[in-house]
Structures are given as structure tokens and as C-alpha cells.
Amino acid sequence: MNDQTTERLRGVIDLFLENASRVNTHKPKYWYPLSLATYGTDEILEALDSMVSFRTTMWEKTQAFEQQFARYVGTKHAVMVNSGSSADLLMCFALTSAAGGRLNPGDEILVPVVTWPTQIWSAMMAGLKVKLVDVHQNKLNIDVTELEKHVTKRTRAIFLVHLMGIPCEMEPILRFAKEYNLLVLEDCCEALGSHYGDKKVGSIGIAGAFSFFFSHHMTTMEGGMVTTNDDNLARTMRIMRAHGWTRSIDFAGEKPLEGYDIDPRYAFVNWGFNIRPTDLQAGFGLHQLKKVPEWNNTRNQMARRFYYGLLKTRFFYGPTYNEHYQKPAWFALPILVRPGAPFTKAQITEHLEGAGVETRPVVTGNVARHPVAALFREFMGTFPGADYIHEFGFYIGLTPFTTEEQIDRLIKLFTDFELSST
């Protein structure tokens, strides 16, 4: 679209959004919801540009977004897909494919028991044998002291998750991985912009998966990304995300089609999926990514204010981490109830919901306590850290638009509830 048309449309969209907010007189259930829409006129205009130019499927905007995202995370490559779950899936399948060459079906992979379940399913679907590892009850992430108990001669990888935006304890994990010659994979779906030391998560292991779901640090509605510094892995993932097709793949001087009597426009060199994104999603991402540093700064300021205020209570506390090395980009505000409190987790979450504050468990809690565990032997075991989080942990939302006044109101809800319960 030309500049004149764009500016006319900008005015129309601005007016439409303004009118929509006026017309929507429905009183929301929550004054403090889990998430809020972060997109506006810029993202809508970018999507319209793709639609009126009839370039809606994966194209130039996807390539541009991948390049900018790789620069932001600090990796050579970024490969966009249609969701964070697909990012986990593609990463696992690429690493176990003949072309990936790093893992083999049947290899063991260590995965934390408190996570979003598609991380587990992705590894299992790729033929890896998942071994669940307990998490630290106060840190939420994988318990480094538990890793030694689960490693065997068949263990080949660790699949970390940086839960709630808190980076894992990477230094001891990397030492452990080096000692046992293990690959480190990162699920960063809740941790865009988090650092361990001077490195962003997603740039530390062999590859990192990100999600751009509506409620995450940035959104493309649905969408995901895999980051890596491995040239061959990046190329394998680009091929596998689109049917195993060689279209638009740079083989850097290699001639994989030499000797084959096939149309090079429709050549297939691997198996694969159709988990491509659209250029509409990538267009959203181009605008959203620019805002992430400022948004994360606000999230972190509000998180610090909240956890400082929570110190006024006796029975509530936030997760612990080493502030010198671990620099979260807070996804939400996880909260733990101390054992011995004169109330249960259910009672405080019911109180918060009734007072207009939306709550959730810490993802699955202990996934081994869900009905699906009866289907798979991988879920057998005892996980006291995960049980603690399951029974005492929950979280409330955090957005780039959270205010100091809202945080202060939240703290008052917690302190008043505690006083009324003792």
C-alpha cells in the first residue's frame, strides 16, 4: 500500500478501535485479568498490507521477522512456525532425523515434570524416551541436584523449560551436560528476553523454542520460533516445516538433487510437516518485537513491586533465584503458599477470583498427577518438588500495561485475606 492509503487506513482503524472500546459496555469479570491485547493499529495495518497484496502465506515478512528475531535473541538462525508447540515438535524431529544427525529414536531425554505438556509430547512423538525430572519447589525450574539420579548410558539430552520467565540455572546444568556429553534444548515459550549471565535464553543450548500466543511476551496470535547457531539444524528445520520440500532452501554449494530426474521446484529431501506460519503473523511480529524491551522493562518493574509487597505477608512468597546470574523476563506472577498456612490454595484462589483477579495453576502442576499419566510409563515416579507446586502454587497475570496502583491493590487483597484468616 502507498503512504497516502496507509495513512487513510490508519485513521479509519484508530477510529474503529476507539468506537469499539466505547461500544463495549460489558463489565468485565476481572479487573485484573491474566492478559490483555497488546496489538493495535500498526499490526492491523501490516496484516491488511499482506492481504491486499495477496502475499499472505510464508514469504518476505517471515524472512525479515526471522532475521530480526535471531538478532534479538543472539543466534545465527531463527525458523518461524505456526505455534510454540510446533516449535518444540520441529526441534525434536529435526534433531532425530537422518539429516539432523544429533539424536536417535530411543535416546533418553531429561524433561522437567512441571511444564506445558506439549514439550513432553514433542519429544515422545519424535521417538525419544522421556525421563521426567523433579523441579525445585521454590525455584519452579528443573532441580539440578536431581539430574544425576536420572542419567543413564542411554541419556543423550536435557530439554529445559524456563518456567514463568525465570531462566534455569544454566552454569551447573551446562557443566553436567558437558560431563555426560548431553545436548541441551531450551523451551523459552514463557521466557522471551530472559537472560542467564550475558546471554538470552534460546541462545545457550543447541536450540530454543518460543511461543507468540496471545498471552505471551509478544503475540502473532498463534505462532512460534526456533533459534539455533547450528547451520545444518536450521536448514533441516526449514525443510521439515514445509513437507520436506527444498523450495527456497540455500544449500550453500551442495547439490542434493544431482542425479535425480525431478523438477527442482518440487523436490523433497526429507519427511516433514506443514507447520508454516503466515506473513500476516510475521507482520504482527515485526511490530511486536520492537516493543518487547520496553514491555519487559515494565513487566519486571511491576514484578519487583509485587514481590516486595508480598514480603508484608507471612504465608505467601514468590519463587527464588540467583539475581546475579538469573535475570527473568517475567511472564506472570507465580505465588506459593507456605505449608502451615491457616488456609488452602483453593481458598485464596477462590477469594481472588471472587474479588476480580484471574488465577491459574502453575501450568500443569505435577503433570504425573493428571489422567494422561495412566497411559504412559514415562510418568511413573515420585516428584515431591512438583507435588509441592501442585498443592501450594498458582499464578496471576502480568501485562505491559500493569500499573503500580493495580499492584498495590493486589498486595492489599493478599494482606487483608491473610489477616481475615488468622
- Tens-place pLDDT, residues 209-240: 999 999 999 999 999 999 999 999 999 999 99
Residue 1 resides in a domain: no
pLDDT at site 26: 62
Query: Hey, is 75 helix, strand or coil?
Result: coil
- Distance, in Å, from the CA atom of 349 to the CA atom of 34, rounded to the nearest integer, reads 13
Q: Is the pLDDT of residue 308 over 80?
A: yes
Residue 301 resides in a domain: yes
pLDDT at site 165: 98
pLDDT at site 343: 97
**Among candidates 402, 385, 391, which has minimal Cα distance to 333?**
402
Q: 46-50, 83-87, 130-134: which has the minimum mean pLDDT? A: 46-50
Give the pLDDT confidence of 366-420 residue by residue, as tens digits. Answer: 999 999 999 998 899 999 999 999 999 999 999 999 999 999 999 999 999 999 9
Residue 102 resides in a domain: yes
CATH classification at residue 368: 3.90.1150.10
Final residue belonging to a domain, choices 268, 284, 300 = 284
Do 414 and 305 belong together in one domain?
yes
Which residues have CB under 8 Å from 331's CB, separation 6+?
164, 165, 190, 191, 216, 217, 398
Name the percent of the chain lying above pLDDT 70.
Answer: 98
Q: Is the pLDDT of residue 334 over 90?
A: yes
Do 311 and 212 belong together in one domain?
no
274: which 3 cell numbers? 506443514
Cell numbers 504482527 correspond to: 284
pLDDT at site 9: 82
CATH classification at residue 76: 3.40.640.10
The residue type at 284: F
Tell me how many domains the chain contains: 2
Do 292 and 218 meet the contact criterion of CB atoms below 8 Å apart?
Answer: yes
pLDDT at site 21: 67
Which residues have CB under 8 Å from 162's CB, separation 6+?
141, 168, 186, 187, 188, 190, 191, 194, 201
Final residue belonging to a domain, choices 230, 263, 284 = 284
pLDDT at site 139: 98
Residue 305 resides in a domain: yes
Do 257 and 276 belong together in one domain?
yes
Q: Is the pLDDT of residue 24 over 80?
A: no
Do 306 and 172 belong together in one domain?
no
pLDDT averaged over every residue in the chain:
95
Domain membership of residue 301 as a residue range: 292-421
| pTM of the complete model | 0.95
Residue 35 resides in a domain: no
Do 149 and 278 belong together in one domain?
yes
Do 212 and 264 belong together in one domain?
yes
Do 278 and 300 belong together in one domain?
no
Do 155 and 182 belong together in one domain?
yes
pLDDT band at 6 (very low <50, low <70, confident <90, very high): confident
The CB density around residue 19, as the number of other CB atoms within 10 Å, is 10
Do 210 and 335 belong together in one domain?
no
Do 184 and 332 belong together in one domain?
no
Q: Is the pLDDT of residue 309 over 90?
A: yes
Do 406 and 257 belong together in one domain?
no
Do 269 and 327 belong together in one domain?
no
pLDDT band at 8 (very low <50, low <70, confident <90, very high): confident
Final residue belonging to a domain, choices 235, 251, 284 = 284
